[in-house]
Amino acid sequence: MRGLFITFEGPDGGGKSTQIRLLNEWLTARGHEVLVTREPGGCKVAEEIRGLILDIRHTSMTPVTEALLYAAARAQHVEEVIAPALEAGKTVICDRFLDSSLAYQGAGRKLGFTTVADMNRHATHGLVPEITFLCRINTELSRLRVWGRSVPDRLESEKTDFQDRVLRGFDELARRYPERIKEIDAGRDIQVVYDEIIGHVRALLERREHGA
Ligand code: TMP
């Protein structure tokens, strides 16, 4: 059976990493072979591209260049890491995937979902996560977390109206794909958020077991 592909999405500083770590532990304890990875990145070539995209000095990078670089990193990551792991039956948890490109480059940079989806066709080969957790927190809290954590990268430094467009992009994706995208209020207590995520994963595993 093909492995399970889970993604986490949402604004920066939304508490994704903690929940990814906890879900990894939960799945591993239940005998799943889990691979945790991230975008942009997850393998050597894609990590190099990540460095290029997020470099704060590249103020002149155009939206199209940025979108193509994310897609290029994804192409390498899918072919080298994600697809082989899924074929080997592993559970893959990925911190961001195509939805981030749709929200950030499609909505945030105003390229539109269709253009960004087209750019990514060769990168994903149609690979879609089975479940996506959209971890939402309000923009202010997100900003506070990002600025309190480290020096913000090029995208994190974007103005509030860009971040708002990104959030609305994620809203629109959640409206379009309610079966796949589970909206999680990540501003709550870690344990409460965790319980909700585990509930969804448990239900998904049961559906898979029963061939639904
Ligand atoms: P990270 O901080 O969650 O690792 O992601 C790095 C930044 O890249 C974050 O601000 C979101 C952004 N991003 C995009 O704009 N498009 C994409 O396709 C991905 C994967 C990330």
Q: Inform me whether the pLDDT recorded for 109 exceeds 70.
A: yes
Atom nearest to 40 CA in ligand 1: 20
Atom nearest to 96 CA in ligand 1: 20
pLDDT band of 19, cuts 50, 70, 90: very high
Neighbours of 182 (CB within 10 A): 18
pLDDT, tens digit (0-9, with 9 covering 90-100), for 30-67: 999 999 999 999 999 999 999 999 999 999 999 999 99
Q: Inform me whether the pLDDT recorded for 212 exceeds 70.
A: no
CB-based pocket (< 6 A), ligand 1: 12, 38-40, 70, 96, 100-101, 104-105, 155-156
Cβ neighbors of 71 (< 8 A, separation 6 or more) are 101, 119, 120, 122, 123
List strands edge to edge, sheet with 91-95: 34-38, 91-95, 5-9, 131-136, 181-185
Q: What's the CA-to-centroid distance between 26 and ligand 1, angstroms?
A: 25
pLDDT band of 201, cuts 50, 70, 90: very high
Contact by Cβ (8 Å): 195, 17: no
Contact by Cβ (8 Å): 4, 179: no
Instruction: Tell whether the torsion through CA atoms of 67, 134, 110 and 162 is positive or negative.
Output: negative
Alpha carbons 171 and 119: distance in angstroms, whole number: 21
Between β-strands 91-95 and 181-185, what pairing exists: parallel, antiparallel or unpaired? unpaired
End-to-end, the C-alpha distance of the chain in Å comes to 13
Q: What's the CA-to-centroid distance between 103 and ligand 1, angstroms?
A: 10
Alpha carbons 12 and 108: distance in angstroms, whole number: 13
Atom nearest to 16 CA in ligand 1: 3
Write the residue with the smallest CA distance to atom 2 of ligand 1: 12
Delineate the domains of the chain, giving CATH numbers in brackets: 5-209 (3.40.50.300)
pLDDT, tens digit (0-9, with 9 covering 90-100), for 123-181: 999 999 999 999 988 767 766 776 676 778 877 777 789 988 999 999 999 999 999 99
Find residue 185's DSSP bridge partners. 136
- Residue 162, both tokens: 């860009």
Q: Inform me whether the pLDDT recorded for 1 exceeds 60.
A: no
Atom nearest to 156 CA in ligand 1: 10
Mean pLDDT of the chain: 93
Q: What's the CA-to-centroid distance between 102 and ligand 1, angstroms?
A: 11
